[in-house]
Chain A
Amino acid sequence: MSRSGYVAMLDLGAGVVLVCAVVTLWRRSLAAIIRVLALQGVALGGVALVLGLRQHDGALVVVSFVVVAEKGAAIPAVLMRVVPRGPTSRELSPLVNVPASLVAAGALTLLAFAVSGPVVALVPTATGRLVPLGLATVLIGVLAMAIRKKAVSQIVGLLLVDNGIALVAFLATGGFPLVVELGASLDVLLVVVVLRVLGSEIRSRYGVLDLDELQELHD
């Protein structure tokens, strides 16, 4: 793999991760959002694979396959099973309308740029430059969690945060030691499973779909 090809592939992978994050804010259909999330997982795995091959880091190659299997296939499959057919599977009225949230996503991307200055300064390589993209994905994920009402879209927001952090970790540090990576992946998978079970329990017992109907507890 030539150097410019390697850089271009990293650029492309990181770019896809960020664009997928934006598209989840853009789309309303939950099924489409989950498919975009799966694509993001595959792109993330691709970044890890490219890095692993380039740096001859076997552990990172293993991690990249785990990432694709987990974030590109397993988690979307788990989520897809709770998405009901019909008009309830759309995010109809997020707290902030779609154009405003898209503009906010743009602003958050710029914020990510401003904030990640020290990281880019510390790692002035082809990979370090891309760290702001990961950070922007994290911020967009937090935004998605804050403004979306459907349980599934909140889980998606959480996964965006997680994917963004994973991207930062791969790009900036070449990934954690294998044990930690696997532990973190397992934790994320468990969180998604727990959230999914909890979500279906809430729905089956109380027929509540939107989380803003859960407002009994407050001060």
Chain B
Amino acid sequence: MLVLAVLAAPLAVSFFSGLVPWRRSVGWLGCWAMVVVSACGAALATRVLHGSSVTTVDGALRVDALSAVMVVVVGLVGTLACWQSVRYLDAEIEAGRCSRRHASLYGVLVQAFLAAMLLAVLAANLALTWVAIEATTIATTFLVGHRGTRRALEASWKYIAICSVGIATAFLGTVLVYLAALHAGSHVHAPASLDWTSLVAESHHLDHGVMRLATALLVLGYGTKVGLAPMHSWLPDAHSQAPAPVSALMSGVLLTVAFYALLRFKAVADGALGPGFPRLLLVIVGLLSLVVAASLLIAQHDYKRMLAYSSIEHMGLIALGAAAGTPLAIAAVLLHVLGHGLTKAVLFLSSGEILSTEGTSEIGEVRALLARRPALGAVFGLALVALLGLPPFSLFVSELGMIRAEVEVGLGWAAGVALACMVVVFAAMTSHGRHLLLGPVGPGEHASRTPGIVVVPLVAALVACALFGMLAWPLAPLLRAAAKTVAL
């Protein structure tokens, strides 16, 4: 019941948004749907804490601790994004850039996008997960191009073209896993062969050669959607051109939902091939992403692109954490997914607010935010601090956990390279942040207030992030249970 509610809430709102022209109440309805999702996710989490799972619809949907974590992350980030969407659409309609019909299309697509992501993490069947992740691409293409500018359309073309190829590669990998499962002997029978619990259970029977090929294709394919180098080129374009709430959703959860699929497959590959081969692949793409992100962040002049590259960096960190693969590492990865989702959503949403008030996304043209817009500047600055992995925020804890796990399994050298990249990122982003936030107020300018309705949810998200970081409550048992499902 709860599982179906998680899917039904956004789908119903999506359908309803299509029926009526956009108005503010419809927007708030979308926000409530995400609150419902978060609540259901929390309720599901309490039921699967001890390693059990909830199955519905003839075994097509299954929730275990890992799925529950992802549902909660999608719900929380979705709530934030839907909250800000109301304000974004209001401003667009007021400025005459967007008709009410166009706005209701936005409502339909955002909720469909959220539903597809939720389906991806709830599906018990790996092929169904694939279908859902492909559906997220379709739903978000028009959202990326929603502003209709030439750049936005260019970004959405690149996005769908590159991601479609990536996701097709992942499909080929899925086909091969299915093939290996069909030939794994009498243990797996055909209809269930893509069910991931039975796959994990039978993984040691799977054919080595085929699984190696499949693992490489899956890392490449889902890696495209995660935004891992070298298939990351769509990410900065799409994230910088999409409307702020959409960027928040894409960066905050879409990337990690694709990573969720990778985690599930990794558990199968670990069983079939041993940890060495998947680890090698993940370390390669992870380090490559870190290096790419660090080198392109230094000379970045657009703050939305800066945030996009930071997403690539964090996906690289997560990939390294998953490469270590111990329970500690996976728990840290999931905490990082949650913390990164929240802080990146806060950053993108506040950067959308900055863009709409300042009218430019150039770092060089925005100054002294702390003095001119104290509340907004403070939120942006704090979120930046959180993103850079400083205490008390949870990203500090999760990064520490991942590095410890990497050292424990003998990936200390990779952790060292990652730390070096993180230092570069830290220097680049603090320098950019200083440009944006600090500086004297110019003559004739004075501080302006940012409406509380913008600031309150963002502050709440940052507080939550700090609480998770300091107390680990109430997450610790859930993360432990989730880690157990896919860790080595």
Assuming the contacts A117-B209, A168-B175, A180-B125, asked whether A202 and B157 have C-beta atoms less than 8 A apart, the reply is yes
Stretch of B48-56, B160-168, B242-250 on the interface side: B160-168
Q: Mark B152-173, 1 if CB is under 8 A from A, else 0.
A: 0111111011001100100110
- CB of A66, distance to nearest CB on chain B (Å): 15
* Chain B residue at minimum C-beta to C-beta distance from A165: B172
- Stretch from A43-51, A69-77, A190-198 contacting the other chain: A190-198
User: Would B157 and A168 count as touching, CB distance under 8 A?
Assistant: no
Chain A residue with Cβ nearest B156? A198
Chain B residues with CB under 8 A of A177? 127, 190-191, 194
B304 → chain A closest CB, angstroms: 11
Q: How far is the CB of A27 from chain B (nearest CB, A)?
A: 21
**What 0/1 pattern do residues 130 to 173 of A give for CB contact below 8 A with B?**
00000000100010010000010010001001100100110011
Contacts of A190 in B (CB 8 A): 135, 138
Q: Which residues of A are interface residues toward B (Cβ below 8 A)?
A: 115-119, 121-123, 138, 142, 145, 151, 154, 158, 161-162, 165, 168-169, 172-173, 176-177, 179-180, 183-184, 187, 190-191, 194-195, 198-199, 201-202, 205-206, 211, 214, 216-217, 219
CB distance B135 to A194 under 8 Å?
no
> Do the beta carbons of A169 and B142 come within 8 Å of each other?
no
Q: Is there an interface contact between A217 and B165, defined as CB atoms closer than 8 Å?
A: no
Give Cα distance in the complex from A198 to B179, angstroms.
Answer: 36
CB distance from B355 to the nearest CB of A (A): 16
Among B175, B183, B209, max chain A CB count under 10 A is at: B175
- Using A118-B207, A217-B236 as known contacts, list a sample of 20 further A-B pairs with CB atoms less than 8 Å apart, ordered by residue number in A: A117-B209, A119-B179, A154-B161, A158-B168, A165-B171, A177-B190, A180-B125, A180-B194, A184-B131, A184-B134, A190-B135, A191-B134, A195-B157, A198-B145, A198-B157, A205-B153, A206-B150, A217-B151, A217-B155, A217-B241
B1 CB to nearest A CB, Å: 22
The answer to whether B168 touches A162, judged by C-beta atoms less than 8 angstroms apart, is: yes
Which residues from B are CB-within-8-Å of A169?
A: 175, 178
What are 21 A-B residue pairs whose CB atoms fall within 8 Å in the complex? A119-B210, A123-B183, A138-B168, A151-B157, A158-B164, A161-B168, A165-B168, A176-B127, A176-B194, A177-B127, A179-B128, A180-B125, A180-B128, A184-B131, A191-B138, A194-B138, A202-B153, A202-B157, A217-B158, A217-B237, A217-B241
- Closest chain-B Cβ to A1's Cβ sits at a distance in Å of 23
Q: Check if B176 is an interface residue, CB within 8 A of chain A.
A: yes
- Is B213 positioned at the interface, with any CB of A under 8 Å from its CB? yes
Which of A115, A116, A151, A169 counts the most chain B CB atoms within 10 A?
Answer: A169
> Judging by beta carbons under 8 Å apart, are B160 and A198 in contact?
yes
Contact present for B209 and A121 (CB under 8 Å): yes
Q: Which residues of chain B are within 8 angstroms of A202 by Cβ–Cβ distance?
A: 150, 153-154, 157
Report which B residues bind A (CB closer than 8 A).
125, 127-128, 130-131, 134-135, 137-138, 141-142, 145, 148, 150-151, 153-158, 160-161, 164-165, 168, 171-172, 175-176, 178-180, 182-183, 190-191, 194, 207-210, 212-213, 236-237, 240-241, 296, 300, 305
What is the interface of chain B mostly: helix, strand, loop, or mixed?
helix
Identity of the chain A residue whose Cβ is nearest the Cβ of B151 in the assembled complex: A216
Q: Is A187 within 8 A of B131, CB to CB?
A: yes
Q: Known: A195-B161, A202-B153, A205-B153. Contact between A184 and B171, CB under 8 A?
A: yes
Residues in A with CB closer than 8 Å to B240 are 217
> Chain A nearest CB: distance from B130 CB in Å?
8
Q: Which residues of A contact B168 (CB under 8 A)?
A: 138, 158, 161-162, 165
Bound CA–CA A214/B135 (angstroms): 25
A119 and B154 contacting across the interface, CB-CB below 8 Å: no
Contacts of B208 in A (CB 8 A): 118
- CB distance B213 to A119 under 8 Å? yes
B135 to chain A, nearest CB (A): 6
